Amino acid sequence: MSVLTIYQRLDALLPKLQDPRLLKNRGIGNEIGFYIFDYEPEYEPLVQQHVIRLKSELINPPNQINVIEVDLYKTILNILEERRVLQKTFELEASKGNAALAKTITPLIRAEQVITYIQRKIQGSEQLILMTGVGASYPLLRSHTILNNLHPILDKVPLVMFFPGSYDGSELRLFNTFKDDNYYRAFPLIPHTERYL
């Protein structure tokens, strides 16, 4: 049993996401099709670049899968911009630092607002949602909170969260350091070892 490299795991994503069983939520019992692609945090730039290519390959022929990317960090920026406080937050961060910024804007970025924003972004015809920006949105958003709140909305659409850290099927550990609440309702998407691939 050998450990797969990040490149091998990234290469395994396209065939997995093309699989009709995944796209139709088949083969996972009655559970909602939420998946986690976890990876070492230092590979974040590599994963970001791969997601761009992956989306292009999925959207264009021959696949033509209706894919929507939800970037949690950009979602935060868009919400702040809609509330006309984005520039003020940049100024606050520059003058008083990250701790003051987090304390000030955390009440503005509640999970319900993020879910409402995501609902507006998705149109109801999507076949697959890719969630990115998880690490950049910390500590303002917690991944398990977003996933829990998305369950009632995305009951038929599979979602893949790109997670810079580790997920063992029950515990999310952002950056392999910060333990999120236990989360049992998502499936690891691509294993770390050949034995399970």
HEC sequence for 55-92: HHHHHCCCCCCCEEEEEHHHHHHHHHHHCCCHHHHHHH
CB-CB contact of 78 with 133 (8 Å): no
Q: Angle at the Cα of 52 (from 122 to 24), degrees rounded to 5?
A: 50
Give per-residue pLDDT as tens, 126-162: 789 999 999 999 888 888 888 888 888 877 789 999 9
Q: What is the mean pLDDT of residues 165-182?
A: 84
Give per-residue pLDDT as tens, 111-130: 888 898 888 888 777 789 99
Q: What is the mean pLDDT of residues 160-179?
A: 90
Phi, psi of 83 (to 5 degrees): -90, 0
pLDDT at 177: 87
